[in-house]
Amino acid sequence: MKIKYFQDTDTLYIEFRNVTVAETKDYDENTFIDIDTSGNVCGITIEHAKERTDIPAFSYEQVAA
């Protein structure tokens, strides 16, 4: 998984898997969901990220099953 923030466009991209995107669906006017050929979510784009997320704060936590 990769998280990229493009400061010049204030765009946040979360890539769950590095696969070919078959389709991009609009969730709303500033959120786009990338779908692979099997119908699985492989990425999410968030426009205007500073006002819609807690950029630049970031944390990652893996919870045991």
Q: What is the mean pLDDT of residues 46-65?
A: 89
Per-domain residue ranges for the chain?
2-52
Residue that the structure tokens 């466009």 belong to:
9
pLDDT tens digits, one per residue of 19-54: 999 999 999 999 999 999 999 999 999 999 999 998
CA–CA dist 63, 56 (Å, integer): 23
pLDDT tens digits, one per residue of 4-19: 999 999 999 999 999 9
Whether the CB-CB separation of 43 and 13 falls below 8 Å is answered with: yes
In the prediction, which pLDDT does 60 show?
Answer: 83
In the prediction, which pLDDT does 58 show?
Answer: 81
In the prediction, which pLDDT does 56 show?
Answer: 81
In the prediction, which pLDDT does 8 show?
Answer: 96
